[in-house]
């Protein structure tokens, strides 16, 4: 389960802290963008973990379906089709993210650790009870990750609304944004 620790030092602890979106009007545009970018990175990482969990859920369900239908073909042989079926579905609630997950390896290890010794690389050899346990465990974690992801999306939306409001009111300008971007690039090249 994804827990948020009040006063914690992890990015999710900061982003979901109650004061993260409090008094946004007092922050500079640069600070607002930094917070939005931090929250967007957390959303990207949670989305990545969620996709990992969905893939594992799909594999377990495919093996359960194979067993219940008496199928003889290995799920491993169907892996590309199993994973592609989910990936090719409509992206109705997703967001376009230009960011890459920053903790991909950590999340892969976390997803594998969820079911202890259940090794999904040989899913066909797992007893039915272990498959059911893996599915339950992955499902609970996916639910937790999805819930936190929605909370983080609300934070991103709240900050974006503040930024957009400043542009509408004329207290922020594209010229200022471009000048800040040029200054950042100049700092990075020095």
60 CB contacts (<8 Å, ≥6 apart)? 120, 123, 131, 134, 135, 138
Let me know if residue 144 belongs to a domain.
Answer: yes
Would the pLDDT of 98 be above 70? no
Query: pLDDT: is 109 or 189 the higher one?
Result: 189
| Three-state secondary-structure class, residue 99 | coil
Sign (positive or negative) of CA dihedral 99, 103, 107, 109 = positive
Let me know if residue 162 belongs to a domain.
Answer: yes
Angle subtended by helix axes 29-69 and 174-189, to nearest 10? 80
> What average pLDDT is seen over the chain?
83
H or E segment to which residue 158 belongs: helix 128-169
Q: How many domains does the chain have?
A: 1
Let me know if residue 65 belongs to a domain.
Answer: yes
pLDDT digits (tens, 9 = 90+) for 39-88: 999 999 899 889 888 988 998 999 999 899 887 777 777 777 777 765 54
40 CB contacts (<8 Å, ≥6 apart)? 97, 99, 156
Mean per-residue pLDDT, 119-139: 84
Mean per-residue pLDDT, 4-28: 93
Share of the chain above pLDDT 90, in %: 44
| Angstrom distance (rounded) from CA 185 to CA 122 | 48
Would the pLDDT of 34 be above 90? yes
pTM (global) more than 0.75: yes
Closest CA to 48 of 101, 105, 97: 101
Q: Which residue has the tokens 């498959």?
A: 131
Let me know if residue 3 belongs to a domain.
Answer: no
| Angstrom distance (rounded) from CA 17 to CA 11 | 10
The token duo for 9 is: 């030092």
pLDDT band, residue 95 (cuts 50/70/90):
low
Query: pLDDT: is 118 or 188 the higher one?
Result: 188
Let me know if residue 46 belongs to a domain.
Answer: yes
End-to-end CA distance of the chain: 43
Structural domain harbouring 75: 11-15+33-86+101-109+126-189
């Amino acid at each position: 389960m994804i827990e948020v620790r009040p006063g914690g030092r992890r990015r999710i602890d900061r982003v979901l802290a109650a004061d993260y979106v409090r008094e946004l009007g007092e922050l500079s545009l640069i600070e607002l963008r930094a917070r939005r970018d931090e929250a967007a990175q957390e959303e990207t990482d949670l989305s990545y973990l969620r996709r990992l969990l969905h893939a594992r859920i799909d594999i377990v369900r495919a093996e359960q379906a194979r067993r219940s239908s008496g199928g003889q073909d290995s799920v491993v042989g169907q892996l590309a089709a199993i994973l592609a079926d989910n990936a090719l579905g409509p992206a109705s609630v997703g967001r376009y993210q230009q960011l890459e997950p920053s903790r991909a390896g950590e999340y892969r290890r976390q997803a594998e650790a969820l079911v202890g010794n259940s090794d999904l690389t040989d899913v066909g050899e797992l007893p039915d009870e272990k498959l059911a346990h893996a599915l339950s465990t992955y499902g609970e974690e996916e639910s937790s990750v999805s819930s936190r992801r929605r909370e983080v999306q609300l934070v991103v939306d709240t900050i974006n609304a503040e930024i957009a409001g400043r542009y509408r009111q004329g207290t922020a300008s594209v010229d200022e944004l471009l000048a800040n971007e040029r200054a950042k690039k100049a700092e990075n090249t020095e």
